[in-house]
Structure 1
Amino acid sequence: MAGEPQADCLFCKIVTGDVPATIVRETDTTVAFRDINPQAPTHVLVIPRAHYPDAAALAAAAPELAADVLREAGEVAVDEKLEAHGYRVVFNTGSGAGQTVFHAHAHVLGGRGLQWPPG
Protein backbone atom coordinates (compact mmCIF):
# COMPACT_ATOMS: atom_id res chain seq x y z
CA MET A 1 0.00 0.00 0.00
CA ALA A 2 1.31 3.48 -0.85
CA GLY A 3 2.70 5.32 2.12
CA GLU A 4 3.42 2.14 4.10
CA PRO A 5 7.06 1.17 4.74
CA GLN A 6 8.35 -1.53 2.40
CA ALA A 7 10.59 -4.22 3.92
CA ASP A 8 12.75 -4.43 0.79
CA CYS A 9 13.19 -0.66 0.28
CA LEU A 10 16.64 0.80 0.98
CA PHE A 11 15.24 4.27 1.68
CA CYS A 12 12.57 2.94 4.06
CA LYS A 13 15.45 1.28 5.94
CA ILE A 14 17.28 4.63 6.09
CA VAL A 15 14.13 6.25 7.51
CA THR A 16 13.93 3.61 10.27
CA GLY A 17 17.67 3.74 10.98
CA ASP A 18 18.23 0.13 9.91
CA VAL A 19 20.65 1.31 7.21
CA PRO A 20 23.12 4.07 8.06
CA ALA A 21 23.25 7.31 6.10
CA THR A 22 24.85 10.72 6.53
CA ILE A 23 21.71 12.63 7.44
CA VAL A 24 21.85 16.40 6.96
CA ARG A 25 18.23 17.36 7.78
CA GLU A 26 15.14 15.70 9.23
CA THR A 27 11.56 16.83 9.65
CA ASP A 28 8.44 15.02 10.75
CA THR A 29 7.76 14.10 7.11
CA THR A 30 11.17 14.05 5.37
CA VAL A 31 14.77 12.89 5.67
CA ALA A 32 17.70 14.40 3.74
CA PHE A 33 21.01 12.57 3.42
CA ARG A 34 24.18 12.62 1.33
CA ASP A 35 24.22 10.47 -1.80
CA ILE A 36 26.77 7.64 -1.52
CA ASN A 37 27.67 8.09 -5.22
CA PRO A 38 27.69 11.90 -5.59
CA GLN A 39 27.35 13.39 -9.07
CA ALA A 40 28.33 16.90 -7.91
CA PRO A 41 30.34 18.35 -5.01
CA THR A 42 27.03 18.63 -3.14
CA HIS A 43 24.58 15.81 -3.77
CA VAL A 44 21.87 15.31 -1.16
CA LEU A 45 18.74 13.18 -1.46
CA VAL A 46 15.49 14.36 0.11
CA ILE A 47 12.90 11.64 0.69
CA PRO A 48 9.47 11.47 2.26
CA ARG A 49 9.36 9.25 5.34
CA ALA A 50 6.31 7.55 3.82
CA HIS A 51 6.94 5.17 0.92
CA TYR A 52 5.75 6.14 -2.54
CA PRO A 53 7.42 4.46 -5.52
CA ASP A 54 8.17 7.65 -7.46
CA ALA A 55 7.54 11.38 -7.66
CA ALA A 56 4.40 10.99 -9.78
CA ALA A 57 2.80 8.59 -7.30
CA LEU A 58 3.79 10.88 -4.40
CA ALA A 59 2.32 13.97 -6.08
CA ALA A 60 -0.92 12.18 -6.98
CA ALA A 61 -1.50 10.58 -3.58
CA ALA A 62 -0.02 13.14 -1.19
CA PRO A 63 0.55 16.56 -2.78
CA GLU A 64 1.22 18.17 0.61
CA LEU A 65 4.00 15.65 1.23
CA ALA A 66 5.43 16.32 -2.24
CA ALA A 67 5.50 20.00 -1.27
CA ASP A 68 7.35 19.10 1.95
CA VAL A 69 10.02 17.28 -0.08
CA LEU A 70 10.44 20.25 -2.42
CA ARG A 71 10.52 22.74 0.49
CA GLU A 72 13.20 20.65 2.22
CA ALA A 73 15.22 20.54 -1.00
CA GLY A 74 15.31 24.34 -0.83
CA GLU A 75 16.34 24.24 2.83
CA VAL A 76 19.13 21.79 2.02
CA ALA A 77 20.36 24.21 -0.66
CA VAL A 78 20.44 27.05 1.87
CA ASP A 79 22.21 24.91 4.50
CA GLU A 80 24.77 23.78 1.91
CA LYS A 81 25.25 27.39 0.72
CA LEU A 82 24.17 26.60 -2.83
CA GLU A 83 21.55 29.32 -3.34
CA ALA A 84 24.01 32.06 -4.37
CA HIS A 85 25.40 30.11 -7.35
CA GLY A 86 22.38 27.96 -8.16
CA TYR A 87 21.49 24.34 -7.75
CA ARG A 88 19.41 21.67 -9.40
CA VAL A 89 16.55 19.62 -7.94
CA VAL A 90 15.92 16.42 -9.92
CA PHE A 91 13.23 13.75 -9.57
CA ASN A 92 13.95 10.66 -11.69
CA THR A 93 10.75 8.73 -12.34
CA GLY A 94 11.12 5.22 -13.73
CA SER A 95 14.14 3.10 -14.57
CA GLY A 96 14.38 4.61 -18.06
CA ALA A 97 15.02 7.99 -16.42
CA GLY A 98 17.68 6.63 -14.10
CA GLN A 99 15.62 5.87 -11.00
CA THR A 100 17.33 3.00 -9.17
CA VAL A 101 15.61 3.13 -5.77
CA PHE A 102 11.84 3.04 -6.09
CA HIS A 103 11.05 5.32 -3.17
CA ALA A 104 10.30 8.89 -4.27
CA HIS A 105 13.30 11.16 -3.80
CA ALA A 106 14.66 14.50 -4.91
CA HIS A 107 18.32 14.97 -5.77
CA VAL A 108 19.75 18.35 -4.70
CA LEU A 109 22.87 18.97 -6.78
CA GLY A 110 25.26 21.91 -6.69
CA GLY A 111 28.75 23.15 -6.13
CA ARG A 112 29.82 23.09 -9.78
CA GLY A 113 28.52 24.29 -13.12
CA LEU A 114 25.41 22.31 -14.09
CA GLN A 115 25.04 22.71 -17.85
CA TRP A 116 21.86 21.80 -19.67
CA PRO A 117 21.12 19.27 -20.96
CA PRO A 118 22.61 17.18 -18.17
CA GLY A 119 24.98 14.34 -18.86
Structure 2
Amino acid sequence: MNLRLWAALLLPPFAGGINTVVGYMVSNYDCNVHNRHLVLLVNLFCLMLCGISALLVLKLKQRIETEFDDSSKDLRITRLFLRKLSLWFAAGFALLVVAGSFATMLMGACDL
Protein backbone atom coordinates (compact mmCIF):
# COMPACT_ATOMS: atom_id res chain seq x y z
CA MET A 1 0.00 0.00 0.00
CA ASN A 2 2.84 2.40 0.80
CA LEU A 3 4.41 1.77 -2.59
CA ARG A 4 1.14 2.61 -4.33
CA LEU A 5 0.79 5.81 -2.30
CA TRP A 6 4.32 6.99 -3.07
CA ALA A 7 4.09 5.98 -6.72
CA ALA A 8 0.85 7.91 -7.07
CA LEU A 9 2.42 10.92 -5.36
CA LEU A 10 5.55 11.00 -7.52
CA LEU A 11 4.07 10.02 -10.89
CA PRO A 12 2.20 13.29 -11.68
CA PRO A 13 5.26 15.59 -11.23
CA PHE A 14 7.24 13.13 -13.34
CA ALA A 15 4.53 13.32 -16.02
CA GLY A 16 4.54 17.12 -15.86
CA GLY A 17 8.31 17.17 -16.28
CA ILE A 18 8.15 14.78 -19.21
CA ASN A 19 5.44 16.89 -20.78
CA THR A 20 7.51 20.04 -20.50
CA VAL A 21 10.94 18.72 -21.46
CA VAL A 22 10.02 16.15 -24.08
CA GLY A 23 7.26 18.36 -25.45
CA TYR A 24 9.75 21.11 -26.24
CA MET A 25 12.24 18.62 -27.70
CA VAL A 26 9.58 17.10 -29.94
CA SER A 27 8.19 20.48 -30.97
CA ASN A 28 11.41 21.25 -32.83
CA TYR A 29 10.97 18.09 -34.89
CA ASP A 30 7.29 18.89 -35.42
CA CYS A 31 8.25 22.34 -36.74
CA ASN A 32 10.55 20.76 -39.30
CA VAL A 33 7.91 18.35 -40.60
CA HIS A 34 4.97 20.76 -40.04
CA ASN A 35 2.98 18.23 -38.07
CA ARG A 36 1.92 18.41 -34.42
CA HIS A 37 0.93 14.79 -33.90
CA LEU A 38 4.05 13.88 -31.93
CA VAL A 39 3.58 16.72 -29.43
CA LEU A 40 -0.05 15.73 -28.95
CA LEU A 41 1.04 12.12 -28.45
CA VAL A 42 3.43 13.20 -25.68
CA ASN A 43 0.61 15.22 -24.09
CA LEU A 44 -1.72 12.24 -24.26
CA PHE A 45 0.90 9.94 -22.71
CA CYS A 46 1.48 12.37 -19.83
CA LEU A 47 -2.25 12.77 -19.28
CA MET A 48 -2.56 8.98 -19.10
CA LEU A 49 0.22 8.90 -16.48
CA CYS A 50 -1.74 11.39 -14.37
CA GLY A 51 -4.88 9.26 -14.76
CA ILE A 52 -3.02 6.10 -13.77
CA SER A 53 -1.70 7.92 -10.72
CA ALA A 54 -5.22 8.85 -9.65
CA LEU A 55 -6.49 5.32 -10.25
CA LEU A 56 -3.72 3.88 -8.06
CA VAL A 57 -5.09 5.58 -4.95
CA LEU A 58 -8.72 6.18 -5.77
CA LYS A 59 -10.09 3.15 -3.96
CA LEU A 60 -7.53 3.02 -1.14
CA LYS A 61 -9.56 5.13 1.31
CA GLN A 62 -11.69 2.29 2.60
CA ARG A 63 -8.68 -0.03 2.82
CA ILE A 64 -6.68 2.55 4.76
CA GLU A 65 -9.52 3.23 7.21
CA THR A 66 -10.21 -0.47 7.85
CA GLU A 67 -6.61 -1.71 7.94
CA PHE A 68 -6.27 -4.23 10.76
CA ASP A 69 -2.53 -4.95 10.55
CA ASP A 70 -1.63 -1.50 11.89
CA SER A 71 -3.09 -0.07 15.06
CA SER A 72 -1.40 3.33 14.75
CA LYS A 73 -3.90 6.09 14.11
CA ASP A 74 -1.14 8.50 13.06
CA LEU A 75 -0.04 6.19 10.26
CA ARG A 76 -3.61 5.93 8.95
CA ILE A 77 -3.94 9.72 9.02
CA THR A 78 -0.63 10.07 7.16
CA ARG A 79 -1.74 7.56 4.54
CA LEU A 80 -5.04 9.40 4.04
CA PHE A 81 -3.11 12.65 3.66
CA LEU A 82 -0.81 11.08 1.07
CA ARG A 83 -3.86 9.75 -0.78
CA LYS A 84 -5.47 13.20 -0.89
CA LEU A 85 -2.23 14.86 -1.91
CA SER A 86 -1.75 12.30 -4.68
CA LEU A 87 -5.21 13.02 -6.05
CA TRP A 88 -4.57 16.77 -5.95
CA PHE A 89 -1.21 16.30 -7.67
CA ALA A 90 -2.84 14.15 -10.36
CA ALA A 91 -5.52 16.78 -10.98
CA GLY A 92 -3.09 19.69 -10.96
CA PHE A 93 -0.54 18.16 -13.28
CA ALA A 94 -3.33 16.90 -15.56
CA LEU A 95 -4.47 20.52 -15.78
CA LEU A 96 -0.90 21.50 -16.71
CA VAL A 97 -0.86 18.88 -19.47
CA VAL A 98 -4.26 19.97 -20.78
CA ALA A 99 -3.11 23.61 -20.84
CA GLY A 100 -0.04 22.53 -22.80
CA SER A 101 -2.29 20.63 -25.19
CA PHE A 102 -4.42 23.72 -25.77
CA ALA A 103 -1.28 25.74 -26.45
CA THR A 104 -0.18 23.08 -28.95
CA MET A 105 -3.53 23.13 -30.74
CA LEU A 106 -3.93 26.92 -30.82
CA MET A 107 -0.41 27.78 -31.94
CA GLY A 108 1.33 26.88 -35.14
CA ALA A 109 3.83 24.03 -35.27
CA CYS A 110 6.83 26.41 -35.24
CA ASP A 111 5.46 28.76 -32.55
CA LEU A 112 6.08 26.42 -29.63
- TM-score, with length taken from structure 1: 0.31
Q: When you count helix as a share of all residues, which structure comes out higher? A: 2
- TM-score, with length taken from structure 2: 0.32
Q: 1 or 2 for the larger relative contact order (CA 8 Å, sep ≥6)?
A: 2
Larger Rg over CA atoms: 2
Q: When you count strand as a share of all residues, which structure comes out higher? A: 1
